Structure 1
Amino acid sequence: MYHQTLKKYFGFDSLRTGQEEVITRVLDGHSAAAIFPTGSGKSLCYQLPAIELPHLTLVISPLLALMKDQLDFLASKGIPAASIDSSQTWQQTQQVMQQVRSGEIKVLMISVERLKNERFRQFISQVPISLLVVDEAHCISEWGHNFRPDYLKLPHYQQSLNIPQVLLLTATATPAVINDMQEKFNISKDDIIVTGFYRHNLDLTILAAQDDEKLDVLQHQLTAQPNVPSIVYVTLQHTAEEIADTLTRNHIPAQAYHAGMDAERRQNIQQQFMAGSINCIVATIAFGMGIDKSDIRQVIHFDLPKSIENYSQEIGRAGRDGKESTCTVIANKSGLNVLQNFIYGDTPDRSAIAAVLSEIKAQSQQWEVMNNRLSKDANIRLLPLKTLLVYLEIRHIIEPLYTYFADYRFKLNVNQQEIINRFNGERRHFVEAIFACSSKAKIWHTLDMDALWQGYQADRKRVVAAIDYFNEQGWITLESKQMTDVYKITNHQFDIELESEALYQLFQQKENSEIKRIESMVDFFESKTCLSHQLAYYFADHHAPEQCGHCSVCRGKSITLPPLPTLPDVSDQVLTQWCDQFINACDIAPSVAAITRFLNGMTTPLTTKIKAKQFDGFGQLEAYPFEQTYAHIQRLYG
């Protein structure tokens, strides 16, 4: 059967536990899910079927780095694969699209956001697809970590693109998330393969240390195993820079890595780490997804991870070669505020939700949304805004119709008449109409879709297909911008007050769930029973040994995290001075939560709009628990 393919392309005589079950189900025509720990060969579960299946395998991948590593691997095995991504030139994208169309490419990798692109959907809908692969599939569950609202639309895309099967891949899914994925993609329970989560070669240690001790503890850990490939995880970008500089000055060569660096520099650092010319990376969680380096010997969390899921994903990058590797958390409670502030900053105000509902109420049948504009107008961060729009779909208030670019513009690479002359009859008249309704500046022509419809009844989809074709032929260079989501309003009769309260409660539940996730992580780190066993149990693996013998608890060194230092009280007078400057700059009275976010130093569309970072009070209470500050503001202004 497929064993010849396995030997020919991958050089393996047999498959690992779980791989055979998943691959067999996919090749038998079933949708399936592979819940395997990091480094257990999930990728082979789609790579091998991709060779055997007749048509394209479309892979949804969350990060460019992940795509690049996968593509390099596939190329090394002689499997024709490509990506369409934001780093490519127009010519590169066109070449890939042509190869996909002709059937030369077997695997195409894209981000989930690519499916919102009208031009891409127009192209991919004409390509027969055998299998949709969703990597990091836990992102589809709003109760999982790393929830991405766009993932919720993947079941819809699977149907609209007539893709017969789906394969979900993840390393970090709790029982609740597994159930969620199963329901959303309608996968049979028998086709969900969960292999053991327990990793016998990972030594887990939790060390308690106050802030002023952490750096010494980190240096001790790194010098205890000198010059081995190591990742040090931190929460904030500036911390990554500071720690890397300090380590290098103390004769431990280290490089910072975070999302604030330009892509070329990040890529260069990653390549040096992979090649072994850099051994120590100090990184935010921007580093790691797709780092398929088998000999990482230690992972150290200098700051608390965001959750047990993040912790397990990050330590999962160690020891993929099966050899012993150490995973250490240098822990105290001072980092909890930063983690909690990420959560509190994402909960929209009730009044902000009401503002979005009021805008919907004011429309007749359709609602056109540019997310960036709505985010600024309503003062809701982009990710929770996307979540809100999904909630509105679930509550049958809106229904997504399509996404389009509001603006198309092009410049001519050949004479306009030369393009027109290539067509005859009705098609020639249609092409003439496109040019007639495209106003020209110096070089660029801007398409007027309304004029095309009113003057010529030219269907928008046909116009987009035509200018895409001109672009592919190289006759024009095409640009599109201002992505706009169009929704049908399915219910105008809703009560704004009742709905905004119900939706606000949903966000409150999500906020509580995320805060509890942090509390669970602290409980885990302070555990008095085997860490490996607890971690495996959290991820539905009930077969791990009750005592692993290679964690700090089994060595008799369970810990209690040092408490937070006592912070000085802030007087009502000082607090009022800080708050009044912020309140006076706002068009309408901000909520207690909005004032608290300002004092805690959380950036929101509102703080950006009024340039609140320049105010005296911004971030003054960053070290104080959100709930404590909220209670104080409630007493003064509530």
Structure 2
Amino acid sequence: MQRLGKLAAAETQMVMLTATLPPSEEDELFRRMYVEREQVALFRAATARTNVAYRVIKVGKEMKKKEVGEIVLGMVRQKLRKHKQGKVVVYGNSVAKVKELAQKLDCHAYHHKAVGKASMLEDFAAGRKRVIVATSALGMGVDIPDIRCIVHIDWPFTVLDYAQESGRAGRDGLRSEAVIIVQEGQQRPAEDKREEVEQRLVGAYVEGVDGAATCRRVVLDGYLDRRETERVACKKGEEKCDVCRGADDEEEEEGESEEEEGGSEESSVN
């Protein structure tokens, strides 16, 4: 990016395109591109996808690793049954956890050290494997249209990471889901001030602003687009998040799962 900034010396028009540039990073971009804010005509569209239903499932901090793993397996298998023709991506923060879950799901484990990542994506895109478990190595540049559900099984590192990874869902415009399954009290400690800020934002998304239930889109829009003053809930035409659906969330899940093994999912598991 720093080298691209030298294009400013050409003194001609430039168009810069990015999928996820938070307003807080705009000044840094302009600095690196050697332009002043008043020289830029900025066009910004909503980052969060209107066709994705966002949801968080919190499990009790006293639960054992095996119990949490069973909840994750049940969730992934339920989503594969629900989306019979679609695909599911599961994100984990550690290679060990990704490998372990992939083995149980009989699918590929995609991470930065994995051998044959290109063939893994080919299998996944072609539907030979309808689920893939990955670290953040599977991120930008993946444009598979029929991914119906993204499942995070750890606390996201940042809201930006989550926006990019959950944005793999519903690229064809059809109804899709982005689900986080997190264990309460298991968010990793921050190593510096910047991480502390990022983790507070993730905490607001997962647990609500100041501990109060908050529409998931309010938090996403507030950080990604600085539109927090424009909404208090999911709007008409958007797939409602679990907070906005409220009691309807559990009722709908029961309707979708009543003929499937495992029954309905709960918004919180103790």
Shorter-chain TM-score bucket reads: 0.7 to 0.9
Q: How far is 1:554 from its partner?
A: 1.2
**Number of positions where the alignment pairs a residue of Structure 1 with one of Structure 2:** 233
Structure 1 residue aligned with 2:26, among 163, 168, 178? 178
Alpha carbons of structure 1 residues 544 and 550: separation in structure 2 relative to 1, 3 Å: farther
Measured against aligned partners, the alpha-carbon deviations of 1:27-58 in whole angstroms (never above 9, x if no partner) come to xxxxxxxxxxxxxxxxxxxxxxxxxxxxxxxx
Match of 2:72 in 1: 218
Question: C-alpha offsets along residues 114-171 of structure 1, whole Å, 9 cap, x if unaligned?
Answer: xxxxxxxxxxxxxxxxxxxxxxxxxxxxxxxxxxxxx344324x357x4844432222
Q: Distance in 1 between matches of 2:231 and 2:165?
A: 22
Identify the match of residue 243 of structure 1 among 95, 101, 108. Answer: 101
For structure 1, which runs of at least 5 residues remain unmatched after alignment? 1-150, 249-253, 345-510, 563-638
SS at match of 2:89: strand
Q: Deviations over 1:385-435 (max 9, x none)?
A: xxxxxxxxxxxxxxxxxxxxxxxxxxxxxxxxxxxxxxxxxxxxxxxxxxx
TM-score, structure 2 as length reference? 0.76
C-alpha separation in 2, matches of 1:544 and 1:219: 37
The SS at the match of 1:204 is strand
Percentage of pairs with the same residue:
26
| Contact 1:291-1:317 within 8 A present in 2 as well | yes
Structure with bigger helix share is 1
Q: Taking structure 1 as reference, are residues 256 and 200 closer, same or farther at Cα in structure 2, changes over 3 Å only? A: same
**Structure 1 residues 561 and 535: alpha-carbon distance in aligned structure 2, compared to 1, 3 A threshold:** farther
1:286 aligns with 2:140: no
TM-score (norm. length: structure 1): 0.34
Paired position in structure 1 for 2:147: 296
Tell me the equivalent position of 2:54. 204
Deviation at 1:281, TM superposition (A): 0.6
Matches of 2:269 and 2:159, distance apart in 1: 16
Gaps of 5+ in 2: 250-266
CA shift in 2, pair 1:307/1:293, >3 Å: same
Partner of 1:534: 219
Structure with the larger RCO, 1 or 2 (CA within 8 Å, 6+ apart): 2
Letter in 1 for 2:41: D
- 2 CA distance for matches of 1:244 and 1:334? 25
Distance (Å, rounded) in 1 between the aligned partners of 2:246 and 2:220:
18
1:229–1:296 CA contact under 8 A, matched in 2: yes
Tell me the SS of whatever aligns to 1:281.
strand
Higher Rg: 1
Q: CA deviation at 1:540?
A: 2.2
Cα distance in 2, alignment partners of residues 232 and 184 from structure 1: 35
User: Which of 5, 9, 16 is matched with 1:168 structurally?
Assistant: 16
SS in 2 for 1:203: strand
Q: Rate the CA distance shift 1:159–1:192 in 2: closer, same or farther, 3 A.
A: closer
CA contact (8 A) 2:79 2:88 kept: no
- Greater CA deviation, 187-196 or 269-278? 187-196
Secondary structure of the residue aligned to 1:206 is: strand
Query: Which of residues 221, 225, 232 in structure 2 aligns to 1:546?
Result: 232
Shift of 1:195: 1.1
Give the equivalent residue in structure 2 for 1:555.
Answer: 245
Instruction: Give the equivalent residue in structure 1 for 2:252.
Output: none
SS at 2:15 equivalent? strand
CA distance in structure 2 between the aligned counterparts of 1:224 and 1:519, rounded to whole angstroms: 31
> Once superposed, what is the RMSD of the aligned Cα atoms?
2.7
CA distance in 1, matches of 2:2, 2:174: 38
2:200 corresponds in structure 1 to 519
| Contact 1:298–1:318, Cα closer than 8 Å, also in 2 | yes
Note if 1:193 corresponds to 2:43.
Answer: yes
Structure 2 distance, partners of 1:212, 1:533, is 33
